[in-house]
Amino acid sequence: MLLRSTPLTLRLIQYSPVCLGSAVSSRFCSTSGKGNNVPTLKKPILQYHEEDLAGTKQRWNYRSEIVNARNLDRPHRNIWIAFGLIIIIGFTGFVYVKTMVIEGRKEEMLERERLRREMNLTGSNRRRIGVVD
């Protein structure tokens, strides 16, 4: 985490427990400013569009420019990702349960056919063996 060098942050760094430990750690927590001081440039995140309307200068932006510059769509993207995951999990669960039901019905049907063959049932007698609870 980078901190700007304001008097408060310099005071906090100078008196932090890490900097008070030893001479080696105090070297890295130095506030004397001997290192490279790179000036930071403040530039606007957005470049405004300007128009003259009835003698007044009007600044404006497209909605997409504001949303993209400030990452305002990140929470919405996370919500849609969560919805997608829920849908995928639900669909795979449905497919799994449906295949298990179909396989169970096929096994029961094969078992009934095996019993009918063992008992040599034909015609209307075949219906004697039905679903057993």
Q: Would you say 70 and 61 are in contact if contact means Cβ atoms under 8 Å apart?
A: no
Q: Indicate the pTM of the whole model.
A: 0.45
Mean pLDDT of the chain: 76
The tens digit of pLDDT for each residue in 56-114 reads 998 888 888 888 887 888 888 999 999 999 999 999 999 999 999 999 999 999 998 89
Confidence (pLDDT) at 99: 98
**Using CA atoms, how far apart are residues 132 and 115, in angstroms rounded to an integer?**
12
